[in-house]
């Protein structure tokens, strides 16, 4: 069972901020911004590339609710999902990063300054 399935099953503790029947949101263990939440479907989906439109539909309003609950809906935020090896995905269970609470720069979600990398 993958790491985020174990978090869904409460076999591994996490700092949950929002949960319903189909989705779970918890604080990232290594935050890159003042607000850094991970939103996942409870059902195992490897990545965005395997995601069905039906799950994405519910995920959209779930992410919007996370933004309201963390009070970043008015100030703005960033939603990121990394896909596969070149996308930098480390955990093989689809997750959306929701980042906010400050004026975000690329450095909030990059290993290096992207200038000159391509």
| Ranges assigned E (strand) in the chain | 16-19, 23-27, 35-41, 77-80, 96-100
* Residues 52/53/54/56 CA torsion (nearest 10 deg): 90
Among 25, 63, 77, 89, binds ligand AMP (CB under 6 A): 89
List the catalytic residue out of 27, 36, 93, 95. 95
The yes or no reply on residue 112 touching ligand AMP (CB under 6 A) is no
Of residues 47 and 74, the one with the C-beta less far from ligand AMP: 47
Residue 75 in contact with residue 100, Cβ under 8 Å?
Answer: yes
Among 28, 46, 65, 73, binds ligand AMP (CB under 6 A): 28
d(C-alpha 102, C-alpha 4), whole Å: 27
> Considering CB under 6 A, how many residues would be counted as binding ligand AMP?
13
The yes or no reply on residue 90 touching ligand AMP (CB under 6 A) is yes
The pair of three-digit structure tokens given for residue 90, joined into one six-digit string: 């480390």
The tally of CA atoms less than 13 A away on the side-chain side of residue 79 is: 16
Among 18, 79, 91, 104, binds ligand AMP (CB under 6 A): 91
User: Has 95 been annotated as catalytic?
Assistant: yes
Q: Which residues bind ligand AMP (CB under 6 A)?
A: 3, 12, 14, 26, 28-30, 38, 82, 88-91
């Amino acid at each position: 069972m993958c790491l985020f399935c174990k978090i869904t099953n409460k076999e591994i503790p996490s700092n949950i901020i929002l949960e319903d029947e189909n989705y779970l949101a918890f604080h990232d263990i290594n935050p890159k911004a003042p607000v850094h939440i991970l939103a996942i479907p409870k059902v195992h989906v490897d990545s965005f590339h395997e995601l069905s439109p039906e799950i994405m539909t519910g995920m959209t309003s779930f992410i919007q609710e996370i933004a309201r609950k963390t009070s970043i809906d008015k100030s703005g935020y960033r939603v990121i999902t990394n896909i596969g090896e070149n996308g930098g995905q480390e955990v093989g269970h689809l997750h959306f990063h929701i980042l906010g609470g400050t004026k975000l720069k690329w450095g909030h979600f990059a290993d290096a300054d992207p200038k000159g990398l391509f």
